[in-house]
Structure 1
């Protein structure tokens, strides 16, 4: 039995495909003293029973990049390590049984083309020719990806482990990590046991690749890692004599996938209501290894019945194996990667939602690069651990949510789809007021937010579609109220951070690209940049006093932004405090906003007395608030920051007073449709840490003359070298099609990029989108001289392109 070392540069916890991939890639980068500890045997948790599907197309460009990397890596691993991986590119077919699903898979095909993935839309007859056993009687469309594949999951992990060892890593089985050790806010090592033996490894870094054990391990260190296991079912048939090699087949409308292997069919399920495991109050047994869970044929039977109709040959095929094993799922069906915000050098790669094989190769590469370079190799926000909310480690919440998220993998991925489970955790003080007035709520970061308001005669629920949904006309009414009258939004979900202390100004000047050396009461819009000039945060900063600042960020990015601030806090005399729950935010917007607020407050709201970009304490009703004159919708208005105890009173005062002006309650969908008409950027879609601030069109918020700040050199270099791409606004000429995001941008007949965000511009009369266009060596005039189209589900639509906001290009309306 080999001796466990006492020192390591990094300890990786968990010997599934994820941990083996991280070890492999760190060792490949030249890291020495890489140690992987597995509690039992490699692959013995989930990896050994994974289906091994390798589908390249994911929901975004970078996730597709990682999946393609995995496929390429697995194809060459066997030659490198001598371990047979079973990797073969047999292709995949996805079939649609409804018009809505056809729209979805055809949109995915457009996305695949934009990402350089080989894809073809095929007819039902063509699908039948590729998959002769398929019943196509009700199939309305299909998509074929010829380079998708399948592999042997356990051997993939073994090959990665061998490759890691070949490059100097040490891999230990039957060594259980009892605890991650830390001091002064950073990792110092791990304590471990092996039978009667125990010890400590001092380490600079720890990576939690613990799979379904990961949540509890993280929680013991105060780290949030929201995941929970569910039972996952599949059957394997007896050998079928007439079976030839076949592509992977997905029938998402029947929650099923089919994989041919060695003359047998594996039929797997992503049923709409899953079974979380283990039961409440129970924990995973310490001796759990290569284990199966009890059969539940009744649970699987609806999937099997549909499968026999879909592939009639199954009716006479014997069942060789009925399998039920646990896999971990997350609240949003996206895995976790990156450094935990609570503990320096505590890294995570876990929660793969049944796509761990196709994800782990790329995720291991990306995390290794991140650890090596101190920053991610490209935008990884959608899987970043910093999106997790602290409350999401709650086990009751997780059990309820993952019962839904497993099935959502194969559900229709409609735009604006809201989770149905584990709702109501975070609510504004106005929640019941808005509910009584017809609000239909959505959820972001656990916050319940009014997305739109139903009429009294209208059902208060979403009816999802890829076409106009049931709230389209409601959104138009709210949108036009903001454009022509006055609307009121509840934006309590904004993240609010106080930064204060003697050194608050120099600290923020170091992080922010804009100049914050302004008088108290001034509001500054600013990005925070990384060393590459990419946008780490998008925020407003209000100077409250000489030593106190309020940072307002999107609710979804609060944990990320707090982590970024604290990461860069050195010896400065500065305190960073999350004050989100202390204040509500009521947003009064529209050309009649001044008329309303002056009837409920005695203060001066004129342009002279209250100019744009300033904040003042005001009297309102019988209470007090702090009014910020800013706008994310492009109209005159104020954000009103009200202490939680006075929120209901201020709301009622505004509502009563505003009735005479036709004040309309508005939801998040109207906020978004208004902001995109003004070409205001949305963090996570239009701007990310991979997007250079100048190419994003935000150079006006960068002041290089103020002195040094993070990203300044990258800005100066880009100004010297010129832009390689520009963020462009598009308006479709045809008023009927809709844009959401990920549609293809076509320039002079060639796909050049994708739409980063889209919505319907009700004031402009058509769908509006934003997206980057390559422009190296080109002037603005040359960029705009081209012919543009947007491809939606294979059909191209003419579009007007603009580098200035098409609505109110001079920005005059916010200063009415």
Structure 2
């Protein structure tokens, strides 16, 4: 007889804080027939040696939500499940050394206040009043978070485990999963104590997640870093201060020097993120061990010498303390440092909740999100920042190691809008990459594809350091302006490799697509935007639908959406339909040719009918080579997308460039395209278009065909239409200073928060700062005066009419 239950609804592989939190949240939602398998004792992986810090800080809206939820959950968890925990809410001070760092703090403080957190900016003198042992002579200020602190990771995990067990869920310790197989639409998990059949399975195996992933045919994009922190002996002055005040010192992070310093009892805990970092288990000489439970790496203090000295200069008392213990343990990293939470790409009823670099502070929220994914098929917050499908096939192990080390070494790095991180580049190259590079392109990576962000002029500063600013003062600003004005006055060409493309063909394909999108499926020879909603009417994605014939389509979507959108289509394809869906992304490339002279440029090198109207497409010869010409332009000018087979793209590019030379054709990049699309109020995926907003909130009413019998989300949208939207998409013109509004900048009406920006930038054709955003429904009338908070300072913002700022009647676009 089997020693464990032979059947469960969900099996979770991995007993760290994240796996146990997922079990707890599933059980709390009523899914009590769930099982967790742990090969050793709970917490045996990264959880047991975690420092246990619980920050809410993040520049990501969704991750801040997740960490805020965790902190709120932990504060009441002990009483909720009747399990004592050591949770010290000490507050934290995050030190700033520069103007740019304070700007980052101001932005995050604004986001935090919007989420109900009382974040504050401290002057150097105020730092001293809260942390009397710190040297402040070289600081510009700090971010203060009153809800930060530290928790005992083992106690937290056991509390979640008790809560899950009390609700009826089961945990099997010392019961390793040994493999999986798919049988009769179920997962069968093998263990030394017997097999378990289940409907859903979750990979929550921490730094072993890649090994577990192999059972599913999945190469989990991750690597493992060595992270050290040091414990120091008691310091009499700290003990005396704590006795006098009754408090622990706030957790201090010197983010520019890259370490945290925390009071541990009456001593210190110092944890650096060093640039000269070390990866583990990446070579045949250093293979991943079969079991590393409750184990550590050997001490490697030489790597930390600079950080120890710097911390001692910041807090001289640290230099008087004796080092008592060093912890050097494995921590997993994805290529961007965010965890994997959500559907396992390409695998039915399998999910990932793994590769957590900050599993303690994110564990509570991660459990909530994972439970929502499994139970509802969707999450309360848009969680693209953590979705496993954001990494596609280019993420091989070399890439994961390079990016993981880069992220670790810049753990507290600022993510400036015009800065491109250099590691792991050139994974996917356009067929004309060499030609574009010769034109002095400065590249950025988009789902691994190298695209020109902007084109440097002679004398422009293209150093990495020159892009590490929040303002418009970089060399790219004037270069991008020239690119935009060339598109306005003559023509521009943008090499755009990596569009995600899906070929959809078969009897009933049109009717099937009609059930998925809110609007109308275009007729043959036409192209149109299709908006895909979820059951709540929220925006899942946007695809261009190019109708080749009655039941034959190409769907074109964002490069980064490749796996996400492909899976959405497959998930909604009913059994029995003779419809084939094929990902043909790698077979084609694209150029955007746009501007008032684009017709003249094309006329000499193509047999196409260039009089065909906007939103049409045609097969044609360009320089004697087959292309698909699509009469659209994301830049908002007369123009075409020129789609060609990859092998033919260089000849097409050369022909267009040669034909365009007499007409002033100029290459332009993604930064210019962003500016141009803002002036047309065109939305961008996972900024302006996300599941944080419904189709109606997004101002996409004209793309909803209400008289269709059915489409996904129709019922929810009909209810919303009857009740009225709570907030609405608007375009704003801002009287900004030297910085444009970043994503999730707070919008104010007097003393009241009334909305947020979803994207922003400078419009070079109209010479104004623009933001797209969501505002409370009663404040969306054109001319309404609001304020937008940009890095802590408020600027006047005016709601614009519901039409583009540039070419409002689309005369140029349709010309």
TM-score range, shorter chain: over 0.9
Q: Using a 3 Å threshold, how does the CA distance of structure 1 residues 220 and 461 change in structure 2: closer, same or farther?
A: farther
- 1:565 pairs with 553, 560, 569, which one? 569
Task: State the alpha-carbon separation in 2 of the partners of residues 644 and 413 from structure 1.
Answer: 33
8 Å Cα contact 2:57-2:64 kept in structure 1: yes
Q: Using a 3 Å threshold, how does the CA distance of structure 1 residues 706 and 29 change in structure 2: closer, same or farther?
A: closer
Segment of structure 1 superposing worse, 11-20 or 404-413 = 404-413
- Superposed CA offset, 1:23-82 (max 9, x none): 111111121321110111111110011121111232244332222221121112212333
Task: State the alpha-carbon separation in 2 of the partners of residues 721 and 752 from structure 1.
Answer: 19
1:142 aligns with 2:142: yes
1:513 aligns with 2:513: no
Task: Give the equivalent residue in structure 2 for 1:689.
Answer: 691
- 1:796 pairs with 774, 794, 797, which one? 794
Task: State the alpha-carbon separation in 1 of the partners of residues 604 and 783 from structure 2.
Answer: 49
Task: State the alpha-carbon separation in 2 of the partners of residues 762 and 779 from structure 1.
Answer: 27
1:86 is displaced (CA, Å) by: 1.3
- 2:590 pairs with 585, 591, 595, which one? 585
8 Å Cα contact 1:86-1:152 kept in structure 2: yes
Segment of structure 1 superposing worse, 762-771 or 413-422 = 413-422
Task: State the alpha-carbon separation in 2 of the partners of residues 758 and 461 from structure 1.
Answer: 24
8 Å Cα contact 1:387-1:556 kept in structure 2: yes
- 2:484 pairs with 479, 483, 489, which one? 479
Match of 2:260, SS state, is strand
Task: Give the equivalent residue in structure 1 for 2:245.
Answer: none
Match of 2:613, SS state, is coil
Task: State the alpha-carbon separation in 2 of the partners of residues 216 and 696 from structure 1.
Answer: 41
Task: State the alpha-carbon separation in 1 of the partners of residues 382 and 535 from structure 2.
Answer: 14
- 1:677 pairs with 660, 676, 679, which one? 679
Q: Using a 3 Å threshold, how does the CA distance of structure 1 residues 460 and 239 change in structure 2: closer, same or farther?
A: same
1:714 is displaced (CA, Å) by: 2.1
8 Å Cα contact 2:621-2:627 kept in structure 1: yes
- 2:258 pairs with 238, 255, 260, which one? 255
- Superposed CA offset, 1:642-695 (max 9, x none): 011110000000111101111011111111111111111111011112311111
8 Å Cα contact 1:74-1:85 kept in structure 2: no
Task: State the alpha-carbon separation in 1 of the partners of residues 463 and 525 from structure 2.
Answer: 41
8 Å Cα contact 1:8-1:201 kept in structure 2: yes
Task: State the alpha-carbon separation in 1 of the partners of residues 377 and 658 from structure 2.
Answer: 53
Task: State the alpha-carbon separation in 1 of the partners of residues 83 and 543 from structure 2.
Answer: 50
8 Å Cα contact 2:783-2:798 kept in structure 1: no
Task: State the alpha-carbon separation in 1 of the partners of residues 726 and 282 from structure 2.
Answer: 54
Task: State the alpha-carbon separation in 1 of the partners of residues 29 and 720 from structure 2.
Answer: 29
The 5 A counterparts of 1:775-786 are: 775=777, 778=778, 780-781=780-781, 784=782, 786=784
Structure 2 unpaired stretches of 5+: 243-247
- 2:235 pairs with 240, 243, 246, which one? 240
Task: State the alpha-carbon separation in 2 of the partners of residues 470 and 407 from structure 1.
Answer: 27
The 5 A counterparts of 1:403-552 are: 403-462=405-464, 463=466, 464-468=468-472, 469-516=474-521, 518-552=522-556
8 Å Cα contact 1:748-1:787 kept in structure 2: no
- 1:380 pairs with 370, 383, 403, which one? 383
1:706 is displaced (CA, Å) by: 3.2
- 2:359 pairs with 352, 356, 372, which one? 356
Task: State the alpha-carbon separation in 2 of the partners of residues 372 and 603 from structure 1.
Answer: 51
1:723 is displaced (CA, Å) by: 1.6
Match of 1:85, SS state, is coil
1:780 is displaced (CA, Å) by: 4.8
- 1:301 pairs with 298, 305, 314, which one? 305
8 Å Cα contact 2:276-2:303 kept in structure 1: no
8 Å Cα contact 1:10-1:205 kept in structure 2: yes
Q: Using a 3 Å threshold, how does the CA distance of structure 1 residues 299 and 316 change in structure 2: closer, same or farther?
A: same
8 Å Cα contact 2:231-2:264 kept in structure 1: no
Q: TM-score, normalised by structure 1?
A: 0.96
- Superposed CA offset, 1:316-335 (max 9, x none): 21101122111011111211
1:273 is displaced (CA, Å) by: 4.3
Task: State the alpha-carbon separation in 1 of the partners of residues 302 and 69 from structure 2.
Answer: 39
Q: Using a 3 Å threshold, how does the CA distance of structure 1 residues 62 and 85 change in structure 2: closer, same or farther?
A: same
1:283 is displaced (CA, Å) by: 3.1
Task: Give the equivalent residue in structure 2 for 1:165.
Answer: 165
8 Å Cα contact 2:429-2:450 kept in structure 1: yes
Task: State the alpha-carbon separation in 1 of the partners of residues 681 and 60 from structure 2.
Answer: 21
Match of 2:89, SS state, is coil
Task: Give the equivalent residue in structure 2 for 1:728.
Answer: 730
Task: State the alpha-carbon separation in 1 of the partners of residues 110 and 362 from structure 2.
Answer: 22
1:224 is displaced (CA, Å) by: 4.3
Task: State the alpha-carbon separation in 2 of the partners of residues 202 and 748 from structure 1.
Answer: 58
1:226 aligns with 2:221: yes
Match of 1:53, SS state, is coil
Task: State the alpha-carbon separation in 1 of the partners of residues 569 and 487 from structure 2.
Answer: 34
8 Å Cα contact 2:462-2:475 kept in structure 1: no
Task: State the alpha-carbon separation in 2 of the partners of residues 247 and 161 from structure 1.
Answer: 29
1:461 is displaced (CA, Å) by: 4.0
8 Å Cα contact 1:735-1:765 kept in structure 2: no
Task: Give the equivalent residue in structure 1 for 2:275.
Answer: 272
Task: Give the equivalent residue in structure 2 for 1:369.
Answer: 372
Task: State the alpha-carbon separation in 2 of the partners of residues 770 and 780 from structure 1.
Answer: 12
8 Å Cα contact 1:486-1:590 kept in structure 2: yes
Two-structure CA RMSD over aligned residues (Å): 1.7
8 Å Cα contact 1:225-1:388 kept in structure 2: no
Match of 2:268, SS state, is strand
Task: State the alpha-carbon separation in 2 of the partners of residues 279 and 612 from structure 1.
Answer: 52
Task: State the alpha-carbon separation in 1 of the partners of residues 733 and 424 from structure 2.
Answer: 37
Q: Using a 3 Å threshold, how does the CA distance of structure 1 residues 736 and 98 change in structure 2: closer, same or farther?
A: closer
8 Å Cα contact 1:121-1:144 kept in structure 2: yes
Task: Give the equivalent residue in structure 2 for 1:787.
Answer: 785
Segment of structure 1 superposing worse, 1-10 or 526-535 = 1-10
Match of 1:305, SS state, is helix
- Superposed CA offset, 1:202-246 (max 9, x none): 111111101111122113212342111101111111111111311
1:458 is displaced (CA, Å) by: 3.3
Q: Using a 3 Å threshold, how does the CA distance of structure 1 residues 461 and 502 change in structure 2: closer, same or farther?
A: farther
8 Å Cα contact 2:742-2:790 kept in structure 1: no
Q: Using a 3 Å threshold, how does the CA distance of structure 1 residues 272 and 813 change in structure 2: closer, same or farther?
A: farther
The 5 A counterparts of 1:270-349 are: 270-281=273-284, 282-349=286-353
8 Å Cα contact 2:733-2:769 kept in structure 1: yes
1:304 is displaced (CA, Å) by: 0.8
Task: Give the equivalent residue in structure 2 for 1:191.
Answer: 190
Q: How many residues align?
A: 801
Task: Give the equivalent residue in structure 2 for 1:105.
Answer: 105
8 Å Cα contact 1:20-1:160 kept in structure 2: yes
Task: State the alpha-carbon separation in 1 of the partners of residues 406 and 504 from structure 2.
Answer: 39
- Superposed CA offset, 1:75-103 (max 9, x none): 12212333332112211111101122122
Task: State the alpha-carbon separation in 2 of the partners of residues 72 and 79 from structure 1.
Answer: 13
Q: Using a 3 Å threshold, how does the CA distance of structure 1 residues 187 and 438 change in structure 2: closer, same or farther?
A: farther
- Superposed CA offset, 1:717-753 (max 9, x none): 2222212111111111246332222222112342222
Task: Give the equivalent residue in structure 2 for 1:75.
Answer: 75
- Superposed CA offset, 1:575-610 (max 9, x none): 11111111110100111111111122132212xxx1
Task: Give the equivalent residue in structure 1 for 2:52.
Answer: 52
Segment of structure 1 superposing worse, 733-742 or 643-652 = 733-742
Task: State the alpha-carbon separation in 1 of the partners of residues 736 and 414 from structure 2.
Answer: 26
Task: Give the equivalent residue in structure 1 for 2:745.
Answer: 743
Task: State the alpha-carbon separation in 1 of the partners of residues 149 and 737 from structure 2.
Answer: 40
Task: Give the equivalent residue in structure 2 for 1:700.
Answer: 702
